[in-house]
Structure formats: structure tokens, C-alpha cells
Amino acid sequence: MNKYMAELIGTFWLVLGGCGSAVLAAGIPDLGIGYLGVALAFGLTVVTMAFAIGHISGCHLNPAVTVGLWVGGRHDTKDVIPYIVAQVIGGIIAGGVLYIIATGKAGADIGGFATNGYGEHSPHGYSMLAALVTEIVLTAVFLFVIMGATDKRAPAGLAPLAIGLCLTLIHLISIPVTNTSVNPARSTAVAVYVGDYALSQLWLFWVAPIIGGIIGAIVYKAVAGKE
């Protein structure tokens, strides 16, 4: 159970740190951290947890990463579903903690609660097609970087930095489009507390990242050859 608990805790931290920065700190007038701050927050959650639990579970924190690594031959079939369940549970717990904090002042309004969306629920009104392409392509790149950085031929010890910086860059590109998912667990973690449109659009933030993860793994294997 150690690796499943590690995934639960790691995903908890990703959602609390990343979504928490978006909900609590991004929009404060004059002092808000903005898109750059939120992007860095998500990247930092991955860097810190990669060092903390990478040696226990591999620090996936993301169903799309788990599926992609499985397709890439880096993850056991028997662990795919337990990893995904642990990630979703960890994310939902973090979403609950964040909800309690965010509603803990008079007149609190959680707004979109860092949910992902398209169309009228995209931060800047991007279409479903734009959201779908964004999430597929960026998750594919994410898996490509993950597989390359963790390849046994890659420089040892630098994978957490490469992966965290990649996630930061992904957020800098796509926050305006979808509020950035590339992670079904992260999307589910906040959508369940908003309901309504967040749940009706959640399908895209499961389907697109998983497709992207599979594509990224296949492309890496084709480019890199045998390890």
C-alpha cells in the first residue's frame, strides 16, 4: 500500500498547492500572483513531491501519466487502476480542504474554484475543439518529457526539475484556454465541489489528457528506441 498512499498524498499536494494558489492567491487585487504564479505553483508541487515520493511510487500524481507510462512499458498493469483511484481520492480530499479554507470568511465567493472548462467556461472563451487540441497536445509533450527525463540514459537526479518546469510551461501556455488540466485527477478534484457545468464538461478533461498521454508515450518509444 505504500506506493498507493504516496500517490494519494502526492496528488493531494498537487491539488492543494496548484489549485489552492489559483483560488486563494491568483486574483487578489494588486497582490495577486497571476497566471505566472499559478503556473509556478503547479510546477513546484511536482518538483517537491518527485523528490519526496519518486523513489516510492514514481510520483505520477496523474491518471494520464499512469496510463501513458503503462503504454510506454514503464508501469505494471496491476497497478494502473489502484494508482488512478489513489490519485482521484487524494485530489478530492485536497479539494475538500481547499473548499473549507476558501469559504472560511464572510461573503466568500469561490467563483469557478479553479475548474477546467471550454466555451463560456474557458477563462478566455476558447472553443471545445481548442480545448481538446490543447489538452491532447500538451499532455503528449508532458509524457514525452517525463519518459525522456526518467530514461536510464538521462542525467541522473535531474528528472524532477525537468518535469516540474515542463508542467510550469504547460500552464503558462494553456491557463487562458482551459485553466489547464493535463490531469484528470486535478480536474475531478475541484469539479465535484462545483457540480453543474464543471461535471458536464469533465469528460473532456479525462479523455483528452489520457489520449495525449498515450500519444506521448508512443512517440517517445519510437524516437528513443530501446533503453
Q: Give me the amino acid identity at 226.
A: K
Mean pLDDT over each residue of the chain, to the nearest integer: 95
Q: Is the pLDDT of residue 110 over 90?
A: no
Calculate the dihedral angle through the C-alpha atoms of 184, 195, 204, 113, rounding to the nearest 10 degrees: -60
pLDDT tens for each residue of 180-206: 999 999 999 999 999 899 999 999 999
Cα-to-chain-centroid distance, residue 99: 18
- Give the list of residues 6+ apart from residue 171 with CB closer than 8 angstroms, or none: 35, 38, 39, 42, 43, 180
Neighbours of 77 (CB within 10 A): 7
> What is the band of 2 on the pLDDT scale with cuts at 50, 70, 90?
very high
Identify the pLDDT of residue 156. Answer: 79
Instruction: Tell me the residue range of the domain where 99 lies.
Output: 3-224
pLDDT tens for each residue of 161-175: 999 999 999 999 999
70 and 84 Cβ atoms separated by less than 8 Å: no
Domains in the chain, number: 1
Q: Is the pLDDT of residue 227 over 80?
A: no
> What is the band of 106 on the pLDDT scale with cuts at 50, 70, 90?
confident
DSSP 155: P
34 and 107 Cβ atoms separated by less than 8 Å: no
> What is the band of 159 on the pLDDT scale with cuts at 50, 70, 90?
very high
pTM for this model (two decimals): 0.94
CATH number at residue 136: 1.20.1080.10
